[in-house]
Chain A
Amino acid sequence: MTVIQKTKMFGSGIAAAFACQQFVPAVALAEEEAEGGISLILPNMVEFIPMLVAFIILWAILAKFGWPVFDKMLQKRSDTIQENLQKAEDARIEGERILAEYKQELDAAKQQAAQIVADAKKTGEAAKAGITEAAQKEAADMIEKARAAIESEKKAAAADLQHSVADTSVALASKLFGEGLSVEEHRALIERYVNEAGSFNAG
């Protein structure tokens, strides 16, 4: 029997149950009008038994044809939910794993960044010290060269002055001797030089 056939039979059962119900209340209403008192709260067997039979038939039909379909739908739904829950759990676990990895990578990156900053700082300090030392050395060299140049200039100036004084003195003496001495003074000078000069055999 296919599902369609089962569904059709299920529909026929329900229609019969409805027909019985439509018939039974009409009878009961007629009797109700005839009787009163306690009979109002007690079931009327004439009505109750058909209703019970109809209910049992309906239950049997539903139990036979409707419940398996419904159970199957529930089972399918449960499986789907279970599967989704499993997927969600897997996704959560995967997410936690990825998050842990990210956190680990983030920590490593932070550590690396800190190391880079520390290295950069260290390198910067070393470069600063080197530059400072080079600048100090260059300044010292420049000062030394300047001192040497000044000293050289002083010596050159002193030598120039000395030469100038020597030339001037000799020129002055030459003028004095050349023009200022009389013949007798020259002769006296010659006599003195002959007496004081070295020997012919000296050199």
Chain B
Amino acid sequence: MPANRFLEKAEVEVYANTLLDSLNSTGGIDAVMEARTQMEQVVAYNRSHTDLLNVSSSSEYSPEQRNNLVKGVFKDTSPALASMLGIMAERGGLHMLPRVLSAFNELIRSKLGVTVVDVVTRVPLDDHLRELIKNKAFNELGGNVVLREQIDENMLGGIIMNAGSKRIDASMNTMLEAARVALKRA
């Protein structure tokens, strides 16, 4: 229902704002980035473990039980994030976490002026490459560029850069796949 969607959107923004403010005030950008990473891991976990989502929205458990359960599961995350996840479970809204993450990313850029670029490579970046990528992102996207590096052994080579909804895929896998398709079509 439209009314529910508006309410959920407002609720999502409240969660994202509250978390960002809390993290930024206590630990600065580093805490924000760390919580962002943890939130991504929680989203991925929930996708592969639907039982937790089902329990968190079940009426067989009291809101307090759901809060305690989820906080217990994610006790190793930052306290602000764990607290927010508990509250979401208590209110039966843990399924909104992916949208909270999107809103959180948007707030990082709009409120903190930080452009987060997720970089995936086969080998670790050196300082020269980091600087190069930051400059490219700054020139094209602006803001204070923060790189989040990830090593993927399955990659043949190259690099994948994601900045929010914007993406540059310069991986060897993609290039070879494109070459394979081109060769087959020729």
User: Which chain A residues have a beta carbon within 8 Å of chain B's beta carbons?
Assistant: 159, 162-163, 165-167, 169-170, 173-174, 177-178, 181, 183, 186-187, 189-191, 193-201, 203
List CB contacts (< 8 Å) of B147-186 with chain A. Answer: 156-159, 161, 163, 166-168, 170, 172-173, 176-177, 179-180, 183-184, 186
Most chain A CB within a 10 A radius of its CB, from B132, B161, B173, B180: B180
Q: Closest chain A residue to B186 by CB distance?
A: A162
Question: B129 and A200: CB pair below 8 A?
Answer: no
Question: B123 and A186: CB pair below 8 A?
Answer: yes
Question: A163 and B184: CB pair below 8 A?
Answer: yes
Inter-chain contacts of A195 with B (CB < 8 A):
132
**Cα distance, A189 to B157, chains bound together (Å):** 8
Question: B168 and A200: CB pair below 8 A?
Answer: yes
**Cα distance, A162 to B172, chains bound together (Å):** 21
Question: A166 and B183: CB pair below 8 A?
Answer: yes
**Cα distance, A110 to B177, chains bound together (Å):** 88
Question: A191 and B168: CB pair below 8 A?
Answer: no
Question: A178 and B158: CB pair below 8 A?
Answer: no
Binds A, one of B24-32, B50-58, B133-141: B133-141
Q: How many residues of B contact A (CB 8 A)?
A: 33
Residue A194 contacts which of B126, B133, B166, B183 (CB distance < 8 angstroms)? B133
**Cα distance, A198 to B161, chains bound together (Å):** 11
Known interface pairs A165-B183, A173-B176; A200-B158 also in contact (CB < 8 Å): no
Question: A191 and B129: CB pair below 8 A?
Answer: yes
Q: Closest chain A residue to B121 by CB distance?
A: A190
**Cα distance, A159 to B128, chains bound together (Å):** 45
Known interface pairs A169-B183, A178-B156; A200-B161 also in contact (CB < 8 Å): yes
User: Which chain B residues have a beta carbon within 8 Å of chain A's beta carbons?
Assistant: 121-126, 128-129, 132-133, 136-137, 140-141, 156-159, 161, 163, 166-168, 170, 172-173, 176-177, 179-180, 183-184, 186
Residue B140 contacts which of A178, A193, A196, A199 (CB distance < 8 angstroms)? A199
Known interface pairs A170-B176, A173-B176, A178-B156; A193-B170 also in contact (CB < 8 Å): yes
**Cα distance, A169 to B177, chains bound together (Å):** 11
Question: A166 and B157: CB pair below 8 A?
Answer: no
Q: Whole-angstrom distance from the CB of A157 to the nearest CB of chain B?
A: 14
Inter-chain contacts of A159 with B (CB < 8 A):
184
**Cα distance, A198 to B167, chains bound together (Å):** 10
Known interface pairs A186-B157, A194-B159, A200-B168; A166-B180 also in contact (CB < 8 Å): yes
21 A-B residue pairs with Cβ-Cβ distance under 8 Å, sorted by A, are: A166-B183, A166-B184, A170-B179, A170-B183, A174-B176, A178-B156, A183-B124, A187-B125, A190-B123, A190-B158, A191-B132, A194-B159, A194-B170, A195-B132, A197-B161, A198-B168, A200-B163, A200-B166, A200-B167, A201-B141, A201-B166
Q: Whole-angstrom distance from the CB of B15 to the nearest CB of chain A?
A: 28
Q: Whole-angstrom distance from the CB of A96 to the nearest CB of chain B?
A: 98
Q: Whole-angstrom distance from the CB of B11 to the nearest CB of chain A?
A: 31
